[in-house]
Amino acid sequence: MVTHNTTQKLSARTARRLRTILAAGRVTAWRGVDLITAAMLAAAFGVVFWAFDTFVYPGVSAVTTGFPPAGELALGVWLIPAVVGGLIVRRPGAALFTELIAANIELFLGNQWGVAVLLSGALQGLGVEIVLAVLLWRRFGALTAVLGGIVSAVLEIVGYEWWSYVAGYSWTWRIVYLICGMISGGLIAGVGGWALVRALARAGALNAFPLGQEVRENDTSR
Amino acid sequence: MTPPAELRFPILPEGSRRAPVGALVEVQDLTWRPFGRADPVLEGFSLRIEPGQRVLLVGPSGSGKSTLLRAIAGVLTTTESGDLAGYVQIDGREPQGSAAVVGLMVQDPADASVAGRVGRDVAFGLENESVPRENIWPRVRRALATVAFPYGVDHPVNALSGGEAQRLALAGVLVLQPGLVLLDEPSSMLDPQAATAVRQAIWAAVTASGATVVLVEHQLEHWLPEIDRVVALGADGAITADGTVEATLLAAPDKLAAHGVWVPGVPAPRPLEVPSRLCAPVGWDVQVGDVVMRAEGVGMLRRLPVGLGGAGGTAVGGTPAGAVLTLSGAEAVVRAGEIVALVGPSGAGKSTLAALLAGLERPSSGSVIAGQQLQSGLRGSPADWSSVELARRVGWVPQQAELAVVARTVRDDVLSTCRTLQLDEAAPRAEALLEVLGLAGSAETDPHHLSGGQLRRLALAGAVAHGPALLVLDEPTVGQDRQTWAAVVGVITAARDAGAAVLVATHDRLLMDLADRCIRLDHGRVIEAAESAESAAAVPPAPAPAPTTPISPAVGPAARRGRFRPLAERCGPLALLGSAVLLLAGALAITRLSEALLGVAAELLLAPLVLGWRGHRLRRLLPGLLAVASVWFSTWLLSPHQDPIAGATAGMRIAFFVLPGVLLARFIDPFALGDHLAQRLGLPGRPVVAAVAALQRFESLAGQWRELRRIRRVRGFEAARGPAARAGELAALTFALLVQTLRQAGQMAVAMEARGFSLPAARRVRRTWAQSAPWLPADTALLVLAAVVAAIPVALAVLR
């Protein structure tokens, strides 16, 4: 066994500037724990979605029956796994992998949209993936999360829902529908997902991941 | 060059292919400092273990025992990063290169399970070592026989008891025939009988193979006869004693006992003297002997959670399919000023009865009745009480104490229920409890950073601080060393002396001895309710009655053989998915109502052939039908000129692909899907395996979610009605579940990496798959049918 030292020693000044720690090793070299964590996060979100469908969503849809596009304000909930998976694992494919497995679980549990949920999962995961790729997997802040949530919503709606669920809407309403989805993606999946990941890191649950290291090193430097 | 014999003849009988000799372990100057810690866990640590030696590692918690095991297994950097120096060599080589050299058995067998069925689970290590399929199954069967496993390779993993699951995990380690077996508290989560069976299986197997053994354990008593050498670590991770059992444990038992080690022969620690005002009921004037809670003929029929298909539930004869009777006709009374111990083997129904008496669940038969004073002013049974009223009356420590974290610091956690109940005077009491339970030094720490034993004490403090009249404690002493055990038991006895009613569900013989009464359960029935603890403790364990209800696999393909089997039932997962995707593509071509109606009519015509007549839970279709209705309505509303035809077209388009998709998905076995994706579509092995392992944990995660909700209810935090409050509660629960999920993912990663999960990737070879993924004629037939149906709207559009 050789000596490992997986962080570079940074001066205090540069440390403040370059706080972001990237995934260990080559960015595409997924560790076993990356894969297992992403898959387990998806399974947990499968449980959360099931609870959301049972306890909260009926209330939301009851409120929004009179004005269906408002129902799209809940879209962001389903985009959270992609944002959270991407922000935690910080490797290409993490957002897509997490969202796809979560979609698979919804499929196996029995859901509203049948197999279409897999197509949705792929588009939603790709949305976050595109944003992370444009930023070269180097930025994982709140802004990245919000952009990821918005692009994810755009891909889901423009790439799929416009042509299936709301294909009969007039264009005005399709646009309203899209804007509702984007707001939800940015707020619930973006801000919400980012806050969730920060809280998990502070609880010491992300010690195996770059964000966990960032939080701990800030703590020890204080 | 001829290949080595091992590659040519991998399935020779045991013993003939390898001399029965264990591995040599050399640890040299090992130093490990995880990032974020000021001091190393291990510093300059050296240890040499001769081949075939059986070594017991003891030491206080936090002394680095588990760290050392992980270092020897080569999985130290799996979940943590830090500064690592020095080296570990097994037979002169690094441990990471092969899973067949070192086997690691982890504490919780659930963390080791990776597949839905027993055989696949054992085969995991062999698949990672790229053993050819025909050689896998004989070795799997032999490994299962070695641990005296009672079921066949097709038995579902999630239907196993804790002891069976741990023996399965052992088989998964032994199947690779490691020369070194590492055991991390392998029996700590088991009841005495199951622990004995696991111990016997371990010694039988390593005696046969001659493997070197390193064992970490707190309860030493039963292990010692087979141990050659004891290595004791101090709190700083340095070796404080090293030698034979006689020279270490028996020569200076008190020294080790003073470090908290449960040395056999040293008398039980005396419960700590805790002032009874710290644990006294607040606002309750119950007299000693008053009935606080009573269960009358309670039974509990537990519906198995909605499985993910495939390896799912087992049905028990005499009960509705998909449900098991965990408790039946149980009577129990808890009175003020007494400790009642619920005892019996795992799975006897202790936790169920405890939860019923704590008002956490509604029994399926019989009733739970609160004593007069607790009931006064409230309506309904305890399960109907509001969250706050329940919290005022009942304190609960769940068996999975790590789930009980409800706040961001240890202090806030203990005080949170006091704040909800507006007990301002409780603060000094909470501080004193933290002091007694050895948590005062961590008062400002995030509870998630605590160890398992500390979390259990925190849960106890949180259950006692607000002074409920009834304490229901599920296994409160697990994972405690001698000192902390004395503190926990001190709090329990002080609560009793202050007039609280205390119910403990426990396997701990020392705690049973301190109880005033024992209620013994077996197979969901109360078999004895002794008035004094002595007589109950003296009863020999009841001979396990033959299972009254044979466990038979749920109605599956086998049960339907001989009758007509619908096409979908004979298809593999890829054809099922593919046909649903074809219908989705077809749906996108639908522009007119006539096309949609014709398509749906064709589907209805084919449905009996493809999906069969019976066995459908139409409830599964309900969400899909709602989706159809909502799209229908909203499209009519928001289409140009509110066109009713547009609404109907949109609704029928959804029906065309959603409803068959939902029904077809029912036939997909998620575990087989993994095999097909990897072997037929050539998807990379590791992500597929990780996904399947996570699916396997879904039901366990759903169970944790329910437990988290119960904890919030009994602590007084359950949200009122209303979407906003519910969304807030959902966020809190989601966070708590994710913390647990991440912790378990780390432990799974350690167990899986120790069985070679990442080896194929590191060696740049393909792993093998124990089961094939055949493409059957039925698969082709289904895809053709789906293509024909999907082409209907396209054809009509072209003809137009």
CA distance B742 to B730: 18
Residue-level pLDDT at B37: 73
CA distance B166 to B176: 16
Query: Is residue A11's pLDDT more than 50?
Result: no
Q: What is the pLDDT of residues B5-28, one digit of tens each?
A: 333 333 334 443 444 578 999 999
- Search chain B and give the residue with CA nearest A199: B735
Closest CB from B36, B694, B701 relative to A216: B36
Tokens of B644: 């009713």
Tokens of A219: 């703590």
- Search chain B and give the residue with CA nearest A101: B691
The string of DSSP codes covering B548-583 is SS-EEE-S-HHHHTTS---GGGGS-HHHHHHHHHHH
B369 touches chain A (CB under 8 A): no
Three-class DSSP category at B104? strand
A53 touches chain B (CB under 8 A): yes
- Search chain A and give the residue with CA nearest B732: A196
- Kindly report the nearest CA distance between residue A135 and chain B, in angstroms: 24
- Search chain B and give the residue with CA nearest A167: B650
B308 touches chain A (CB under 8 A): yes
B734 touches chain A (CB under 8 A): yes
Query: Is residue A58's pLDDT more than 90?
Result: no
B28 touches chain A (CB under 8 A): no
Contacting residues of B for A71, CB less than 8 Å apart: 630
Higher pLDDT: A31 or B161? It is A31
Question: To the nearest 5 percent, what fractions of chain B are helix, strand and coil?
Answer: 45, 15, 35
A159 touches chain B (CB under 8 A): no
Contacting residues of A for B702, CB less than 8 Å apart: 47, 50
- Kindly report the nearest CA distance between residue B255 and chain A, in angstroms: 34
Nearest Cα to Cα of residue B758 among B689, B671, B669, B666: B689
Cα–Cα distance list, A190 to A50, A91, A144, A215, B75 (Å): 21, 18, 8, 20, 34
Find out whether A128 and A151 touch, Cβ atoms under 8 Å.
yes
Mean pLDDT of chain A: 85
B792 touches chain A (CB under 8 A): no
- Residues in chain B predicted with pLDDT less than 70, given as ranges, are 1-20, 36, 97, 99, 304-323, 530-563, 614-617
Do A47 and B701 make contact, defined as CB atoms within 8 angstroms?
A: yes
Q: Which CATH class, in words, describes the domain spanning B20-258?
A: alpha beta
Contacting residues of B for A105, CB less than 8 Å apart: 308, 695, 698
CA distance A81 to A44: 9
Find out whether B53 and B229 touch, Cβ atoms under 8 Å.
yes
Homologous superfamily of B279-290+335-360+386-538 in CATH?
P-loop containing nucleotide triphosphate hydrolases (3.40.50.300)
Helices B133-146 and B192-209 pack at an angle, to 10 degrees, of 120
The answer to whether the B20-258 and B279-290+335-360+386-538 domains have the same CATH topology is yes
Cα–Cα distance list, B457 to B488, B615, B710, B744 (Å): 7, 48, 19, 21
Kindly give the pairing relationship between strand B42-49 and strand B25-34: antiparallel
CB pairs under 8 A between A and B: 261
- Kindly report the nearest CA distance between residue B72 and chain A, in angstroms: 11
Find out whether A101 and B694 touch, Cβ atoms under 8 Å.
yes
To the nearest 10°, report the CA torsion of B783, B788, B790, B791.
140
Residue-level pLDDT at B638: 83
Spans of all domains in chain A? 24-221
Contacting residues of A for B627, CB less than 8 Å apart: 112-113
Do B734 and A40 make contact, defined as CB atoms within 8 angstroms?
A: no
Q: Which CATH class, in words, describes the domain spanning A24-221?
A: mainly alpha
Find out whether A147 and A86 touch, Cβ atoms under 8 Å.
no
Q: What is the 3-state secondary structure (H, E, C) of B620-660?
A: HHHHHHHHHHHHHHHHHHHCHHHCHHHHHHHHHHHHHHHHH
Find out whether B384 and B368 touch, Cβ atoms under 8 Å.
no
- Kindly report the nearest CA distance between residue A134 and chain B, in angstroms: 24
- Search chain B and give the residue with CA nearest A216: B36
To the nearest 10°, report the CA torsion of B318, B323, B328, B334.
180
Residue-level pLDDT at B397: 95
Contacting residues of B for A61, CB less than 8 Å apart: 630
CA distance B206 to B224: 15
Do A3 and B84 make contact, defined as CB atoms within 8 angstroms?
A: yes
Q: What is the pLDDT of residues B461-520, one digit of tens each?
A: 999 999 999 999 999 998 888 889 999 999 999 999 999 999 999 988 899 999 999 999
Cα–Cα distance list, B378 to B293, B324, B382, B695 (Å): 14, 32, 9, 42
Contacting residues of B for A48, CB less than 8 Å apart: 705, 730, 733-734, 737
Find out whether B330 and B353 touch, Cβ atoms under 8 Å.
yes
Contacting residues of A for B83, CB less than 8 Å apart: 3-5
- Search chain A and give the residue with CA nearest B617: A110
B86 touches chain A (CB under 8 A): yes
What phi and psi values does residue B475 have, to the nearest 5 degrees?
A: 55, 60
A6 touches chain B (CB under 8 A): yes
This prediction has a pTM of 0.88
Residues 641-680 of B with CB under 8 A from A: 643, 646-647, 649-650, 653-654, 657-662, 664-666, 668, 670, 673
Residue-level pLDDT at A112: 77
Contacting residues of A for B403, CB less than 8 Å apart: none
Do B665 and A110 make contact, defined as CB atoms within 8 angstroms?
A: yes
Do A168 and B649 make contact, defined as CB atoms within 8 angstroms?
A: yes
User: Which phi-psi region, left, alpha or beta, contains residue B260 (left: φ > 0; alpha: ψ -120 to 50)?
Assistant: left
Q: What is the pLDDT of residues B157-174, one digit of tens each?
A: 888 888 889 999 999 999
- The b-or-e profile of B693-723 (16+ CB within 10 A means b, else e) is bbbbbbbbbbebbebbbbbbbbbbbbbeeeb
CA distance B113 to B697: 9
Do A31 and B758 make contact, defined as CB atoms within 8 angstroms?
A: yes
B311 touches chain A (CB under 8 A): no
Tokens of B444: 């400002």
